Chains A and B, each alone.
Chain A
Amino acid sequence: MSDRVEILLVEDNPADAELTQRALRRNRVRNDIHWVQDGAEALDFLFSEGAYASRAGMASPRLVLLDLKLPKVDGMDVLRRMKADAKTKGIPVVMMTSSQEERDLVASYELGVNSYVVKPMEFEEFTKVVGQVGLYWDLVNKTPT
């Protein structure tokens, strides 16, 4: 794992995680994707705690792909914590949801999510959407450091 992490992927389903990473790579998005499998680990990573204490002082990821249903700490809670902290507030977050209803649910919280992706079932669509997201953020976004 390189020190510089561009994208934090928070996804509990390994198949989905693998497909996502594959889709991102195929669309020539940067390789430095870090994958965590639950909300607690995601928070540890973001706040340089627990197993990631060594990351203290390092730059935050430029993009977080956040799944909704996560063990230990739920996706919404991770989002809330990110938005509540000055250090992590500015990190762009893309919610990965499985359905329109989930999308609506997230929107109702008005927590300032930057983008949504409804995880489609057709791989083509999936690729396209994730690819678009990855490309966009990678090329355009300049996070204030």
Chain B
Amino acid sequence: MSSALPDRPPTPSASRIDATLLATVLAGVLLLGVAVSSLVQLRQSSDERAWVAHTRAVIDELTEAKSLAKALESPALGPVIAADPPKLSALESSAGALRKLTADNPDQQRRLDRLGSALERLHTAATLADATLVASTLDEMQTHERALLAGRGARAKAANERAEILVLVGNALAFALVGYSVWQSRREIRARKAAQDLADEQRRAAEDLYNQAPCGYHVSRSPDLVYDRVNDTELAWLGRSREELIGKKRFFDFLTPESKAKIDALSMADRLAAKGSIELDLVRHDGSTLTVTVASSPARDAAGEVTGWRTTLFDIDERKKSARETEALRKELEIRAASLEEVNKDLESFSYSISHDLRAPLRAIGGFARILEEDHGEALGPEGLRVLGVVRSNTSRMSQLVDDLLAFSRLGRKSVARVDVDMKRLAEDVVEELRNQAGALSAEVIVGDLPRAHADARLVRQVLVNLVSNAVKYSSGKESARVEVTATEEGGAAVYHVKDNGAGFDMQGYEKLFGVFQRLHRHEEFPGTGVGLAIAHRVVSKHGGKIWGEGAVGVGAEFHFTLPKEGA
């Protein structure tokens, strides 16, 4: 399912309803037609049957008449009968009855005319011709009626059969229709049930959403503004049950006095417009308070009249609490940062002034020791001079240490001014400067392509000076001393390398490598105070980069450091 709520069932379309209606109407019409036509057939059948009965009556009468006239044809008996008036009268009355019976049949009437005339003549003179005519006319009539009977009988039968078929068809249709209706209505019922289930599910889902919402919802009824509906969240916030609120309490009843005053001071328009920006305090069941923001909108009926208000509450307690906490933390952080800065400042100025103040006496010691050597060296003698030499060299060393300490502490005070630095150019400058200072470099220095960095140029320069001069210094013993300054890209950051094939160092002492004044070589081997790497480490760290190195005794050393890329 793509949405949170179950999908709506497909509603029967209007055209489908019309089709059903049409089918029903059509079926009805058909049934009616069948009923009517079967009725018609039945009527026809009974009509025919009536005629059949009639015809039989005619035939019966004819048969009787024929029996009466039977002997008429006999030449012997003929004239006897003819001369017998009762017999003739019987024939005449029979003819009269026949005339009535066949009143609808013109053919038979004509025959009866002939018969009548013949009978009349017989009254007067009994001739064979007339007697025969009577008999033959009666025969004709009987044949005719027999034919009619046959016809009518057949038609009656046919009509009956048709009626039977129609009744059968009608019943079948009715059956089919009933079956279809039953099937349709069952389908309807099923569909309706499914729709109902879906609607129920949707309703439950909506209820859940409503109740479990992370904000409070309630509806208050106009005009008294009592609770009409409230969700579980708001109940939990207030610490109350639904029964306590619905129809009994108003939202405003739970506000603190200050919040009530705040709300009362606002007009309705203001309240509506404020949507979510007014903070109110609620009093919970246990007496504690909860801070919320409120947004309301009116609920209207079909006529547009306001029936109540729909309100949403947002718990800003958490928000306020975390804002307070954040503020407290921030203040604490500020204080700490300030005191840290102060401590730093103190420390820096302390080490600065000490280093500074140490210089003057060191100057004096060094200078006067020299005077001693220059002006009174002879009086000292070789041993005296040697001792003096120790004094002088140690003074010199201390001066160097003080200088380095000063430089190191100055570095800590400096803030980093970042620009895009052309590292290749910088490295080349450094090499040039070192060469100028020393007159000539004891090692060959090669500078490769170095990507630009985003850093403080002066500070990075110091790093390069320290690393390269170290590399050169520690290569001084080797024949084909070679120092390489290169760079590679690793994981989106630029890594710079300074490699030498000089004395190297023992990896065992790696921990001391970047320590201030920590050295892995004796002073006699290679001069230096051991602050160069410490300074480099400090600068690189200030830029958020990393510095590390590896070495092998007698083989050489390589130092690597990372700096932010240009434009970073």
Identify the A interface with B (CB < 8 A).
13, 15-16, 18-19, 22, 98-99, 119-123, 126
Contact = CB atoms under 8 A, between A and B. Distances in A.
B375 to A, nearest CB: 9
A123 B360 CA distance: 12
Interface stretch (B4-12, B113-121, B366-374, B376-384): B366-374
A32 B365 CA distance: 26
B192 interface: no
13 contacts: A15-B364, A18-B367, A19-B368, A22-B367, A22-B371, A98-B360, A121-B399, A121-B402, A121-B403, A122-B366, A123-B363, A123-B367, A126-B363
A123 B356 contact: no
Contacts of A99: 356, 359, 406
A18 B371 CA distance: 10
B371 A121 contact: no
Nearest to B362: A121
Interface in B343-372: 356, 359-364, 366-368, 370-371
B360 A16 contact: yes
A15 B364 CA distance: 6
A122 B360 contact: no
Interface of B: 356, 359-364, 366-368, 370-371, 396, 399, 402-403, 406
Contacts of B399: 121-122
Contacts of A121: 359, 362-363, 366, 399, 402-403
Contacts of A98: 356, 359-360
Contact of A19 (B359, B361, B364, B396): B364
Contacts of B366: 121-123
In this complex, which of B364, B367, B370, B371 has the most chain A Cβ atoms within 10 angstroms of its Cβ?
A: B367
A59 B367 CA distance: 33
Contacts of A122: 366, 396, 399
Contacts of B371: 22
Contacts of B402: 121
A15 B406 contact: no
A139 B370 CA distance: 27
Nearest to B410: A101
Contacts of B406: 99
B359 A15 contact: no
A105 to B, nearest CB: 13
A16 B364 contact: yes
In this complex, which of A13, A19, A122, A126 has the most chain B Cβ atoms within 10 angstroms of its Cβ?
A: A122
B310 to A, nearest CB: 71
Nearest to B369: A123
A127 to B, nearest CB: 9
Nearest to A20: B367
A119 B368 CA distance: 15
A126 B396 CA distance: 13
B367 A13 contact: no
A123 B370 contact: yes
Contacts of A126: 363, 367
A80 B359 CA distance: 27
A15 B367 contact: yes
Contacts of A15: 360-361, 363-364, 367-368
In this complex, which of A13, A121, A122, A126 has the most chain B Cβ atoms within 10 angstroms of its Cβ?
A: A121
A28 to B, nearest CB: 15
A120 B364 CA distance: 11
B399 to A, nearest CB: 4
Task: Rank and list the top 3 A-B pairs by shortest CB-CB distance, nearest first.
Answer: A15-B364, A121-B399, A19-B367
A88 B399 CA distance: 37
Nearest to B352: A101
